[in-house]
């Protein structure tokens, strides 16, 4: 199934991409999942002032919607890690492009990620943060692609499990495009 507003969102790419994008998760279902995740997080962080760390760029749309459902005295920071670039496969090597600036020691840290695929990126980040001695360290991921896991990753708060397909939209890109699509799509070959 495809949504009719594709054409306006895709501009000149419409001829190339319209037939290759299939809707996987609608913005309505994303909103419901965010309500559920926000309830779980609020319950677990009562009386705390968590530091939410978003992984740029993919998680920014999810994080923006999630924090507005979190009635907690939270703080935000971001890290930027090396990305796939124009490839759909991880190189397996992760680099920190922009590290965390807020002191992490003694904080209740909640990492916000768009997708856990092989697990290589997020386990690298969790190790990087653990070295900075947070009081607690949890992971909230919008999506999980467990079929491709190479490194075990405990996901404390999960939106959706997705099939072994490349997904775009709602912050997730292919070669920097499609981040602004309101729903999540599979990008077919
Ligand atoms: P991992 O290291 O777990 O293999 O990959 C993590 C990162 O790769 C994610 O944070 C995301 O940026 C990117 N990634 C993995 N799978 C997908 C996907 O299906 N679609 C998009 N757009 N990015 C992905
Ligand atoms: Mg990411």
Per residue of the chain (189 residues), give pLDDT as tens. Answer: 455 456 677 776 666 676 799 999 999 999 999 999 999 999 999 999 999 999 999 999 999 999 999 999 999 999 999 865 556 666 678 889 999 999 999 999 999 999 999 999 999 999 999 999 999 999 999 999 999 999 999 999 999 999 999 999 999 999 999 999 999 999 997
Residue 125: strand, helix, or coil:
helix
151 C-alpha to ligand 2 centroid (Å):
15
Q: What's the pLDDT at 15?
A: 63
84, 92 contact by CB (below 8 A): no
Minimal CA–CA distance to 117: which of 175, 85, 52, 165? Answer: 165
Whether the CB-CB separation of 86 and 112 falls below 8 Å is answered with no
Query: Which one of the ligands is nearest to 168 CA?
Result: 1
pLDDT given for residue 189 in this prediction? 79
Q: Which residues on adjacent β-strands are paired with residue 75?
A: 51
Residues 6 or more apart from 98 whose CB is under 8 A from it?
56, 78, 79, 80
Mutate to test the pocket of ligand 1, among 17, 53, 56, 84 (most ligand atoms within 8 A of CB): 84
Residues 6+ apart with CB under 8 A from 134: 51, 104, 105, 106, 107, 108, 109
Atom of ligand 1 nearest to the CA of 114: 10
Q: Which residue has the tokens 């990087």?
A: 128
């Amino acid at each position: 199934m495809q949504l009719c507003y594709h054409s306006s969102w895709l501009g000149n790419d419409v001829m190339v991409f319209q037939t290759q994008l299939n809707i996987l998760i609608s913005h309505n279902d994303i909103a419901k999942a965010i309500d559920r995740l926000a309830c779980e997080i609020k319950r677990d962080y009562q009386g705390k002032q968590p530091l939410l760390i978003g992984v740029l760029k993919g998680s920014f749309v999810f994080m923006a919607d999630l924090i507005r459902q979190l009635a907690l005295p939270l703080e935000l920071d971001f890290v930027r890690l090396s990305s796939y670039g124009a490839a759909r496969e991880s190189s397996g090597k992760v680099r920190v492009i922009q590290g965390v600036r807020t002191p992490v020691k003694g904080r209740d840290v909640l990492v916000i990620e768009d997708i856990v695929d092989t697990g290589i990126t997020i386990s690298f980040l969790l190790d990087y943060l653990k070295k900075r001695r947070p009081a607690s360290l949890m992971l909230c991921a919008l999506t999980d692609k467990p079929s491709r896991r190479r490194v075990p990753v405990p996901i404390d708060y999960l939106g959706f499990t997705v099939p072994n397909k490349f997904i775009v939209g709602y912050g997730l890109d292919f070669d920097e495009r499609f981040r602004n699509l309101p729903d999540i799509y599979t990008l077919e070959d």
